[in-house]
Structure 1
Amino acid sequence: MRDAEEFDAFYAASAHRVLGHLYAMVGSRTEVEDAVAEAYARAWDRWASVRQCDSPEAWVRSVAYRVAVSAWRKTVNRLRAHRRESTERHVEAASVDHVAVVDALRRISADQRRVVVLHHLVGLSVAEIAAETGANANTVKTRLARGRRALAAYLTENEYESTGGGRSHDL
């Protein structure tokens, strides 16, 4: 029997966090909201088995990530087929630091971005990331180290200022 109260408590405790994690991985709030909603719907349909997982939140996050990636691939293929150009959305009222981090995350590979977000924003260990992503621990460590190096290059003040994104020191 489904336990609606238990699922509601799980959703209330984890949905905002999962949304934030996926946003950092994917970069589009609209796509992330759809993917997270789909993942929670699937979790509800399978709640009897999902609640038995070591981390139901990790299960939802993984499903949401796969849904978002699948949606992204469909969109890219559709755009290629129609040869349309996309425009970027700008988030209003975001701090300069937030914009810099999101921009830097978008510049590194998807695999590196995923492990960096899972480790630094979600707080997962290398072993937990390996379990969630299906990669071995050494691969996770390599992606994490390379991701950090790549981010460092994009997050230095000089790099950010030279791209026109930063402000001068006369704040």
Structure 2
Amino acid sequence: MTVTKEPRLGEPPPADTVVRAERLDGPDFDAIYHAHFRSLTVQLTAYCGDLSQAQDLVQEAFCRAFARWSRVSRYDDPVAWVRRVAWNLATSRWRRLRTARSWLSRQREETVPGPGPDRVALTAALALLPLQHRRAVVLYHLADMSVSEIARQEGVAEGTVKSWLHRGRAALATHLTTTKEVNDNE
């Protein structure tokens, strides 16, 4: 420690006295910070692709080094420690972002385009059919079940299923033709 005027034993130094502290146990933190901040920022910018993020990461690494400077300054290469901490911070940040993106993608509702006009018309026409006719048409045309499978499931004769299908198709044709004519006139 260098003092311009030495006070007497027990007296406080005068107010205009300049006191400088020089570290004898290792390199000066300010000197390392000013000498290496820019080069570390360039390295991290190349790694993460964002200058402001790289600056934040290097700044955080130097803050952590400053908090442990009494130990870090004794290392053979304190800058290597700061560099490793900055790279670890960048990797950790990337992992957190990846996890957050993954979580958000699972939370979001996917928007699906609404049904087209043909589907709306078909759904409306199906809703107008009697229950047995509607069930027979849906099972036969959409579920790809045979007449015998439908008859077995519904507990009726195959002729009854054929009748339901015939009547259901005829009613659908009437409803869909009427809907199409209304849409064409608009």
**TM-score range normalised by the length of the shorter chain:** 0.3 to 0.5
CA radius of gyration, larger in? 2
More helix by share: 1
**TM-score, length basis structure 1:** 0.44
**TM-score, length basis structure 2:** 0.41
